[in-house]
A and B are shown apart, each in its own frame.
Chain A
Amino acid sequence: MALLERSEWYDIARRTEWTPGYVSDDELYPEGHSGDYDIPGEAWSTYDEPYKISYREYVDIQRQKDAGAYSVKAALERMDLRSKVDPGWISTLKLHYGAVSVVEYNAGLMESRFVRWARSPGMRNMGTFGMLDEIRHAQLQLFFPHEYVPTDRQFDWAHSGMKSNNWGIIAGRHFFDDMMMTRDAVSTSILLNFAFETGFTNLQFIGLSSDAANAGDFSFSKLIQSIQSDEARHAQIGTPMLAMMIENGEKERAQRLVDVAFWRSWKLFTILTGIPMDYYIPLDKREGSFKEFMQEWIVTQFVNSLEDLGLAKPWYWDIFLADIDEHHHGQQLGTWSWRPTLWFSPAAGVGPDERDWLEEKYPGWNDTFGKCWDAIIENLKRGDIGRTVPGTLPIICNMSNIPIRRTTRWSTTGGSTTSARSPIAGSSSRTRSATPPTKRSLIACSPARSSPPTSAVCCSTWASACSATAVATPTTTSGCPPTSRVPTRRRRTDRWQHSHSR
């Protein structure tokens, strides 16, 4: 018997749902779980998921994906990759697995909440696939690093990391708790599915796959692209939701959700992706700079999607663009300095050739961040290791939960300008030191335009690490670029010019 094409039965099957008779609508979809947005009941039936798939199709392609990823791993594990590739790449793997693997199970829980609490049957249907996707991601990313555990226990952090109170892990856990575990279904679909999954995960799961392939780690390259192929589908859960919110007068709240998720994602990915791409990965294996991948995936692709749907760039856009040039360089100084606190061995990545590359990709690097590294290198050459390790813990932002650092740009703009530019006022003015996030901080986490932080807070931790270790004490202030400098389009490498029109 011939099968009907999916399009011939999908809409009927998707719209099939019960009409509740024993409980009220409010009991079935309580606000806390389903959202308190002002969207009328009949509007929910208009939710039309754009990336349609049947369960039969889903099982077929997921089997193909798993067969591909596990086969590549099985074929290549005899390569003994760990002993052959650059240690910087191994650190990239450890950072990724420690920060990502178990979180995927949480993402499965998030999707399961769509299955139960989403008011639209189409969203519940896609949530079911998304839930299965995320369980697959967790299992893959626990299994792939396991082969390394017998010879390198740092890989055990793939499983144990998320249960620790390491400051870096807390930053990741706080982000995911806030973005995907503690909000209603509607908000979560915008925060996580739309802003995070159609935007930032592309950096780590596709951009980094190019570097992985260049480094010879085809298992990891295949793994993360396989994972992202699921994300490309279930990330579309948020797109029709966003359109519904705009159509029903909730545009302002939708924009705010995007603004919050974008800023939080950006800060997290400066460490997760920015540092490995520009410092850990061997120079000759780099496909492009972090900034170039940001330009491709976020500044262009994501913003195109955002504006196409009728929303605007986040209000702090200029600050964000400036941050692309600077923020992760400061985080690299900090994470390397606090290397005894990490579950991976961070590469400094600032040899002469690497510095030339950094200067080419980020003009002004040598005169700013490079001077901090000069001081560290001098201390190391003199055998004064103690002066390269800070004696205190990093000061942590109460919202992003990553160490507070100053950008060179901010440091030269003076007090008033510095304050006016800060996007995360309420949080930056409060700091913590390795204490778990409070419930309040989980909720009060959006970028706010008032109550700017003091410059003293902005100029604290990473810059202190630099000056504390310096013999000649070159501060970032003395070497920062002029305030009038704006982010400029960088000259690309040949690989990045390798496009052609046909």
Chain B
Amino acid sequence: MSVGSVGPVIQSGEVARAVVAAVEGDNAGRAVNVVDRGSYVRIEVEGECVITRASVERELGRPFKLHELEVNMPSFAGRIDTSTEMIRFYRGERHD
């Protein structure tokens, strides 16, 4: 894990696979690093990591409310902003 990286830690499984794919789509142009620890995966993006509801729904192939991510997210790196359409992990000053 690098110093500036942020992002969620997700329980391994269907949601984790969908979130990895969603993060790759939502953060185009940024390197996405995935660390597999067996029971969990750590998803790392340098500086800022965005996850949108639309992307997760597309990857899962079913409706998904972003607050449901909490069911599978035991931790995250960086600060967090939550809304119904997007979750953002970031460092430093907030960019509201």
Interface residues of A (CB under 8 A from B): 5-7, 50-53, 57, 60-61, 64-65, 68, 202, 205-207, 209-210, 212-214, 221, 225-226, 228-229, 231-233, 236, 239, 287-288, 296, 300-301, 304-305, 308, 495, 498-502
In angstroms, Cα B1 to Cα A498, docked, is 12
In angstroms, Cα B40 to Cα A301, docked, is 15
Determine whether B70 belongs to the interface, using a CB cutoff of 8 Å to chain A: yes
Q: Is the CB of B67 within 8 A of A202?
A: no
Interchain CB contact (< 8 A) of B32 among A233, A239, A308, A502: A502
By a CB distance below 8 angstroms, the chain A residues around B84 are 5-7
By a CB distance below 8 angstroms, the chain A residues around B1 are 296, 300-301
Main secondary structure of the interface of A (DSSP, over half): helix
List 17 extra interface pairs beyond A61-B70, A499-B33, CB under 8 A: A50-B79, A50-B80, A53-B67, A60-B67, A61-B71, A64-B71, A210-B39, A212-B39, A225-B74, A231-B74, A232-B75, A287-B39, A301-B1, A308-B91, A499-B34, A501-B31, A501-B33
Q: In whole Å, how far is A247's beta carbon from the nearest beta carbon of chain B?
A: 12
Interchain CB contact (< 8 A) of B78 among A52, A210, A305, A501: A305
Q: Can you list the 4 inter-chain pairs with the closest CB atoms, starting with the nearest?
A: A228-B74, A499-B35, A213-B39, A210-B38
By a CB distance below 8 angstroms, the chain B residues around A228 are 74-75
Q: In whole Å, how far is A209's beta carbon from the nearest beta carbon of chain B?
A: 4
Cβ < 8 Å to A, chain B residues 1-38: 1, 3-4, 9, 11, 24, 31-38
By a CB distance below 8 angstroms, the chain B residues around A68 are 71
What is the chain A residue whose CB lies nearest that of B12? A213
Q: Give the number of residues in B that approach A within 8 Å (Cβ atoms).
A: 37
Interface residues of B (CB under 8 A from A): 1, 3-4, 9, 11, 24, 31-40, 42, 65, 67-68, 70-84, 91-92
In angstroms, Cα B84 to Cα A147, docked, is 40
Q: Is the CB of B35 within 8 A of A229?
A: no
Q: In whole Å, how far is B17's beta carbon from the nearest beta carbon of chain A?
A: 13
A65 and B37 in contact, given A57-B65, A225-B11, A305-B78 (Cβ under 8 angstroms) = no
Q: Is the CB of A498 within 8 A of B81?
A: no
A499 and B32 in contact, given A202-B75, A239-B79, A300-B1 (Cβ under 8 angstroms) = no
Interchain CB contact (< 8 A) of A495 among B33, B38, B79: B38
A498 and B36 in contact, given A7-B84, A228-B75, A239-B79 (Cβ under 8 angstroms) = yes
By a CB distance below 8 angstroms, the chain A residues around B67 are 53, 57, 60-61
By a CB distance below 8 angstroms, the chain B residues around A226 are 74
What is the chain B residue whose CB lies nearest that of A213? B39
Q: Is the CB of B73 within 8 A of A50?
A: no
By a CB distance below 8 angstroms, the chain B residues around A50 are 79-82
In angstroms, Cα B81 to Cα A288, docked, is 31
Q: Is the CB of B77 within 8 A of A304?
A: yes
